Structure 1
Amino acid sequence: MTRKIWVFDTTLRDGEQVPGAKLNLYEKLEVAQQLKKLQVDIIEAGFPASSTGDFNAVKEIAKKVGNTDDIIITALARAVKSDIDSVFNSIKYAEKPLIHMVLGTSDIHVEKKFGKSKSQILDIGVEAVKYAKTLLPDVQYSTEDASRSDFEYLWSTIEAVVKAGATIINVPDTVGYAEPEEFGHLIYKLNDRLKNLNDKVLLSVHCHNDLGMATANTLAAIKNGADKVECTINGIGERAGNAALEEVVMSMNTRSAIYQAYTNVNTKEIMNTSRLVSSLMGLDVQVNKAITGDNAFAHSSGIHQDGLLKSRDAYEIISPTEVGLEDMELVLTARSGRHAVRNALEKLGFNHLTETQFEGIFTAFLELADAKKEVYNHDLYVIVENYFSKHDSTNQDLTNYSEHFYELIDLQVISNPIFPSASVKMKKGNIILKSSSVGSGPIDALYSAISEICDLDIKLIEYNINSVSRGKEALGKVKIQVEYKGEKYTAKATDTDIMKASALAYINAINSIVVEHLLPVK
């Protein structure tokens, strides 16, 4: 029997605890609105007792995002009256508010963190729930560090707070200590007792990733009766992070026969949500991250590309469109095989190449790929043109493509707080083009100068830079996304000069636009 799993997103609370990831009120509101589009069931909007700013952010989210009955808004409180009051006063504006409180149950927390007896801590929890119930009907109680707690004491706590009125019991693996079989067994035992005690109470889990098992533990809990999962976008969170929402949801979707459960999450909004959170928090997603990493649906191995072109399910268990991407990406590199290169050429209209012609073009492709790392469609046009100009200049189908593409010759960027400026020298075919511009910063000035030369209405959506090597000659990798006429284009470039890498990435994106919109019909 298929059952619904409730999705509780704590990106704005646990996720925001990452050093340097603090969001202001407007940024929190933007993320919350996107989480609503993603159709999570519950948004944990913050920890209102921690600061006035967080209180106000939670309050605005409750008013502007929680103003319909299709989303629950909550916030975290310790099991003390003042914290509970802060949560209530900030979330009470939502149509469906929920008070969430946390109190430890492990010996380490009870004895070393609180310095109290187990019975004292249990009484504090019960009184906190009773007080919260006077304010709102829905109360979640989290038994912090549950995975390292004595089972009978953990159960005694759960039994007591449920009798006091708790409507959701959350079982956290607070320090990522559990392993899937062990955690699944814990949830199975708790679920069995809880459903006999009160089958209306939801059983929830909150797993951390200190040993890399947050998603696995969460899925094990679902198989063993958990009704609700707590996750974050991109798996961000305290220390090594939390269970990644996108991994949990897509695992359930892809292996539905195993989990016999579903969520209400709109998976087509996963990538939009991931990119927004990454951008606003300044936390890059590792390239090989499951589901939301740059390489999650990119294929560069010739063997894999060949298999995918023959049958998508050879190396792809999830369609990229399911998570909001356009399609799989066959990245053309020196590792790409003949099948992938021929497929790319045919998509560009080169359908009638002889074997001799293709082999000559493929050899040129490998030479460029070794030098450039990644080959774009505009590079293929130039490779084909160069081949025919050398071997068959009378070919009637040959168009002078290179005159439509842009190439960087030189640049100069001046960075200062008063007058950031940039000058670029570029080539389009045999024409030399120059431009200078000022901007709000060096990258803005550089891109303004390039845009002035190209005369295209391009909007920069995303700009990321990472180091891909170490030492004095470290390589900087720049990845950008731009928008032109409603379509998005992603491009990358690598260089020891980050300004040059930035310029090359932007020009790669422009040349992709030229391929799609501005080339003469072949």
Structure 2
Amino acid sequence: MFDHRKYRRFETVRLKDRTWPDNEINKAPDWCSVDLRDGNQALINPMSVEQKTRMFTLLVKLGFKEIEVGFPSASKPDYDFVRKLVDENLIPDDVSIQVLTQAREELIKKTFDALGGVKKANVHVYNSTSVVQREQVFGMDKDEIKGIAVQGAKWVRDYAKQHPDTQWEFQYSPESYTGTEMDFAVEVCDAVIAEWQPENGQKVVINLPSTVEMSTPNVFADQVEYFCRKLKQRDQVRISLHTHNDRGCAVAAAELGVMAGADRVEGTLMGNGERTGNMDIVTMGMNLYSQGIDPELDFSDIKEIIEVVESCNEIPVSVRHPWAGELVYTAFSGSHQDAIRKSVNYHKEHNQEHWDVAYLPIDPRDISREYEAVVRINSQSGKGGVALVLERDYGIELPKWMHVPLSKVVQSAAEQQGVEVSPEVIYTLYQKHFVEVADAWTMTRYDLHTDEQQVSARFQIGDAEFSGQGAGALEALKDALSNHYQCQFEVTQFDEHAIGSGTDAKAQATVAVEVDGATEYAVAISEDTSSAALQAMLTAFGRHAVAEQRISA
């Protein structure tokens, strides 16, 4: 059943002297949102008038100046919504609404009825021109198909004259453009443009739909460049693109199409649309943004955009959606986490002019994603990520040699639970395994006496009292414990630093000790440095004692 031989390679115009590969996108195209028409007609439950109004409000807030609001001749909800926008004066003066209609007189007439009183609008008329549609759906030849387009253009022109107070823009789409012979597509569009006479001031858009994505994006770019070269009145019209995502390349096709000469792009927020969807304006806009180009749309509150889109479309946005998904700035991999932590710190320390951080193509804060989501911990995470979570969420800075034992504890918990480990759980594990200490191992008092270079000390630990000697307080405590419990005891790592500043500052001591060949780690915080260091050592020794069950807890 799965037999590739039933299909054939898509063949189209091939430009030997194409110029678009050498072009760069250096400014945003004109954007037109089709969420309320193309996106809406692809929903299981089409939007209500209330949902459409909410979506329209969001699109205006984001900065769209052209918004396709519906197909008013095709359904009552679309008609009612257009009337609501006009009658309630909901359309800003700098926004032009767009409506779609087939090239049939009764539908065109109803379309203009829906738009009565609007300040400015784009009437978008279309008919299919592809080989498949001509031969298999309509049973018409090229002249008949062109005749439909020309007649539709005439009706649009004539009905617009009945509303002289409105600023009209006319748009024509040769539907299934990518499946149409290029010369025939040019011929039909030239004929339509001749009826609208843009040379006399009428604004005209020619939209080239990749109604079904049939080829790689570079082939589509060739088609766009070929069309722009051949169209008679190219300089007097705006060339628009409307790419679908059947091959997963709608954004790439639109980008290359702009490089090939297009002026305008139609699409939807998050790519909602028929079949696999429309061109995603959020993705293409953020692609520009990440290259230092103003997309002329405001995606700074991506959370609000997702909330409105999910509510109105009743379709969840993937957590892996480009730029916008919940997890796209999150690293679970240990090596990624370590690189992000180091790169972010380097960026801060060197006051970098331009963003250039490992694994983060943009600063997540630009679109309301916080750093809290950048590093999350599961069984795949590494030592640097776990330490970063403690530092980020709780202000706990640990020496690098402490990262390994901490991550082992967290990874063990992650493997046992089989799920992501939250920052709260990481903190709890840290406290339980490295900070908490039983009453029997809590130092309540110590006295130090210095005699030349020797320190004699007495320690009150729980209910017991110990004595020891050494070059300093730590060595004296080591001496006391070693002699009392008859064990080999060494401090192998030690770190101490201040927490806070001024009179409220405290000391944090972190130690690694080796008792009879076994290593334990501990952290203690106190108001003075000696107390913190002594308690950290005592906590680590006590953990070993409890674990070995040979020294009383």
Corresponding residue for 1:189? 226
* CA distance in 2: counterparts of 1:46 and 1:346, whole angstroms: 51
Matched, 1:316 2:360: yes
Distance change (3 Å), C-alpha of 1:269 and 1:142:
farther
Post-superposition shift, 1:395? 9.5
Q: Which runs of 4+ in 1 moved over 3 A?
A: 1-4, 61-66, 91-94, 348-361, 388-397
* CA distance in 2: counterparts of 1:77 and 1:391, whole angstroms: 75
Distance change (3 Å), C-alpha of 1:375 and 1:4:
closer
Aligned residue runs from structure 1 range 234-273, under 5 A? 234-255=270-291, 263-273=295-305
SS in structure 1 at match of 2:35: coil
* CA distance in 2: counterparts of 1:282 and 1:220, whole angstroms: 31
Aligned residue runs from structure 1 range 33-432, under 5 A? 33-64=57-88, 67-136=91-160, 137-165=168-196, 167-194=204-231, 197-255=233-291, 263-312=295-344, 313-327=357-371, 329-349=374-394, 351=396, 353=398, 359-370=404-415, 371=417, 373-388=419-434, 391=437
Q: Which has the larger radius of gyration?
A: 2
Distance change (3 Å), C-alpha of 1:326 and 1:59:
farther
| Range with greater deviation from structure 2 (321-330 or 103-112) | 321-330
SS in structure 1 at match of 2:156: helix
Distance change (3 Å), C-alpha of 1:96 and 1:270:
farther
Post-superposition shift, 1:198? 4.3
SS in structure 2 at match of 1:48: coil
2:92 maps to a residue whose letter is T
Query: 5+ residue gaps in structure 2?
Result: 1-24, 161-167, 197-202, 345-356, 444-553
* CA distance in 2: counterparts of 1:267 and 1:329, whole angstroms: 19
Number of residue equivalences: 392
Post-superposition shift, 1:238? 0.7
Post-superposition shift, 1:153? 0.8
Q: How big is each residue's C-alpha offset from its partner over 1:88-130, in whole Å with a ceiling of 9 and x where there is no partner?
A: 2223444321111111111212232222222122122112112
Cα RMSD after superposing both structures: 2.5
Q: How big is each residue's C-alpha offset from its partner over 1:285-305, in whole Å with a ceiling of 9 and x where there is no partner?
A: 222221222222221111111
| TM score, norm. by length of structure 1 | 0.70
* CA distance in 2: counterparts of 1:350 and 1:266, whole angstroms: 33
Post-superposition shift, 1:250? 1.5
Post-superposition shift, 1:242? 0.9
Post-superposition shift, 1:253? 2.5
Asked if structure 2 preserves the Cα contact closer than 8 Å seen for 1:33 and 1:65, the reply is no
1:345 maps to a residue whose letter is L
Post-superposition shift, 1:264? 2.0
Post-superposition shift, 1:212? 1.0
Distance change (3 Å), C-alpha of 1:352 and 1:131:
closer
Q: How big is each residue's C-alpha offset from its partner over 1:380-438, in whole Å with a ceiling of 9 and x where there is no partner?
A: 232123224655769999xxxxxxxxxxxxxxxxxxxxxxxxxxxxxxxxxxxxxxxxx
Post-superposition shift, 1:23? 0.9
1:140 maps to a residue whose letter is Q
Distance change (3 Å), C-alpha of 1:8 and 1:351:
same
* CA distance in 1: counterparts of 2:442 and 2:121, whole angstroms: 70
Distance change (3 Å), C-alpha of 1:302 and 1:243:
same
Post-superposition shift, 1:221? 0.3
Percent identity for Structure 1 against Structure 2: 26
| Range with greater deviation from structure 2 (359-368 or 164-173) | 359-368
Distance change (3 Å), C-alpha of 1:223 and 1:65:
farther
Query: 5+ residue gaps in structure 1?
Result: 398-522
* CA distance in 1: counterparts of 2:302 and 2:108, whole angstroms: 32
Asked if structure 2 preserves the Cα contact closer than 8 Å seen for 1:168 and 1:201, the reply is yes
| TM score, norm. by length of structure 2 | 0.66
Asked if structure 2 preserves the Cα contact closer than 8 Å seen for 1:97 and 1:138, the reply is yes
Distance change (3 Å), C-alpha of 1:124 and 1:394:
farther
Corresponding residue for 2:476? none
